[in-house]
Structure 1
């Protein structure tokens, strides 16, 4: 499957109901479109019914048709961060941007489907411009290597989106997105009664890592 959340879990259930189909399928691919109106619980239900199949987000972008082309958009960056944290907290094993680099108009595209990109390339000046979305992706790709395992956590502030994982080297990674317009003090409780105290600035994201 390579579709939206709206197809979960019924499409997967239907496909796997046919004899011998399940043994030829390793995972379920999803696009992020319409995630805002379809609950992430659909991922939980799908995982619970088919725990031997991975879930992977394979396409995400901000389309010109709905959002326009905007250079330097922090709003787009926040939407990326929020979606990545949510998806990884609900059994997605990864998350991919659709086009990591495009021209200044969001192309080229033969179907006139221009989209925003983490990197815009200005070919006439031989320059490229990293967008806020690019740096948001780094909070995940740089600190969460293959083989990391997500674990459950408890967050008491609804303005924060939090993701916690254990790396293969034993390190703990905590990604915190502050969606509010106010700075939020945060205490991360770790083992042996120890804690880490920090402040997350308004409309910002941080990644904490410790061993």
Structure 2
């Protein structure tokens, strides 16, 4: 009898163990935290009472992901050329290789911008209406080599879109780099400019996926390169000049994104861009920035833009920690509420609430998750590399980048912002579908997407000061996960 009882007990233990395994969800968890994890794989989880439940529903899908990445700027490219070949390669691989952040969506500037070493144009000769002297020579030493190296490092490739900050002064009503408007008599010349740009970059082996029509058409306080458009002026330019010109030259497949400034002004722009079928057909989507507030996501504005044109792109094309000099080799600073943005000092009193002191990592994580949960399909950071001053920048408009370098000492610092970006870009791949998430703990910020290979990436941000636990539930299976205080996790689930 004792022998039979022993085997019966053993049988029950085995059956319970098998049943538990059958109902346990298999996951890989990667964490970046204030405590020091940097995309570190976490494997040991402690049982916890009252754990939250995050339930995934891949049967309900939302937008299709275009990608995540950063911008190729002359400043970043110049700095890479100042480093040793070893450190240059390390940075390129970190951003673009499959083992690194695996960036899939990138931006660059047409003509100069504030993060250029000087002001220049590809159309330097005045009254050259046919752009016979068009040249990208200013991009040849730094910018184009950086893009080419990134292309070599990327296994899957990446999309690149270009944005002009301004036309050459001779095309504008104020004849200046800053402010002013494009003269109507040069609308056709400016449309030709985009076509010439595609040709020139193709000649270098670089395919341009698309454009934003104008970086920050409201202007930037008359500080650096800019050119102003009203919603009607931009829509008229695209409908009657840029769209038809690209179509005529065989570039009708190039993506055109309108607006390209802060979310708060979305409504008036999308109403005008999609005012008619003839205008809408040339706009492939809307580009947005986060500078109206790096704390508030403006979900109502994002929802409105999506509902206005559900089939179009909605891409965040620029965001960074601005008005700050980078803190060198001090991870803790990036997790503390010490950083400000431009609005902390300069915004009118009634709108200062949109610009609180807020930790840089928290800004990025909160914004990307909020965007993904409100129909945004791509999120592009600003400069990939800056120096310890937050430049170089001809206007001395200092900012922070995920990778900071000291070219004099040939040193590289991967800030926590680099790992924050990688939590999304590395694991949520192009063509993934954002899926429904039901989360019982509103203090945890959560988004999820299913990749084309069936895998599901769940990104969870705990910006609180206490550790938390949650169960991930999918299709009747679940698993318990602990997340540290001030921590970002990506939970990968293989469904095949």
If the length of structure 2 is used for normalisation, what is the TM-score?
Answer: 0.41
Deviation at 1:12, TM superposition (A): 0.9
Q: What's the secondary structure of 1:8's corresponding residue?
A: helix
- Among 454, 460, 475, the alignment partner of 1:170 is 454
Superposition pairs for residues 33-72 of structure 1, below 5 Å?
33-35=291-293, 36-37=295-296, 39-64=298-323, 67-71=324-328, 72=331
If the length of structure 1 is used for normalisation, what is the TM-score?
Answer: 0.94
Structure 1 runs not aligned, ≥5 long: none
Q: Structure 1's 93 and 19: CA in aligned 2 closer, same or farther, altered over 3 A? A: closer
Higher relative CO (Cα under 8 Å, sequence separation at least 6) belongs to 2
Residues 6 and 38 in structure 1, CA contact (< 8 A), matched pair in contact too: no
In 2, Cα distance between the equivalents of 1:57 and 1:4? 9
2:388 counterpart residue number: 104
Q: What's the secondary structure of 1:180's corresponding residue?
A: coil
Compare the two structures and name the one with the higher strand fraction: 1
Q: What's the secondary structure of 2:281's corresponding residue?
A: helix
Q: What's the secondary structure of 1:139's corresponding residue?
A: helix
The answer to whether 1:153 aligns with 2:437 is yes
2:260 counterpart residue number: 2
Residues 274 and 309 in structure 2, CA contact (< 8 A), matched pair in contact too: no
Superposition pairs for residues 188-207 of structure 1, below 5 Å?
188-191=472-475, 193-207=476-490
Q: Mean alpha-carbon deviation: is it higher for 35-44 or for 131-140?
A: 35-44
Deviation at 1:18, TM superposition (A): 5.0
Larger radius of gyration: 2
Residues 118 and 131 in structure 1, CA contact (< 8 A), matched pair in contact too: yes
- Among 22, 27, 32, the alignment partner of 2:290 is 32
Residues 77 and 132 in structure 1, CA contact (< 8 A), matched pair in contact too: yes
The answer to whether 1:128 aligns with 2:419 is no
In 1, Cα distance between the equivalents of 2:267 and 2:471? 36
In 1, Cα distance between the equivalents of 2:474 and 2:390? 43
Aligned pair count reads 208
Deviation at 1:44, TM superposition (A): 1.1
- Among 167, 186, 189, the alignment partner of 2:470 is 186
Deviation at 1:70, TM superposition (A): 2.7
Q: What's the secondary structure of 2:381's corresponding residue?
A: coil
- What CA deviation, in whole Å up to 9, does each residue of 1:163-209 have, x standing for no partner? 11101100011010001111111011111x11021011101011111
Structure 2 runs not aligned, ≥5 long: 1-258, 336-358
Residues 63 and 69 in structure 1, CA contact (< 8 A), matched pair in contact too: no
2:281 counterpart residue number: 23
Deviation at 1:8, TM superposition (A): 1.6
Residues 2 and 30 in structure 1, CA contact (< 8 A), matched pair in contact too: yes
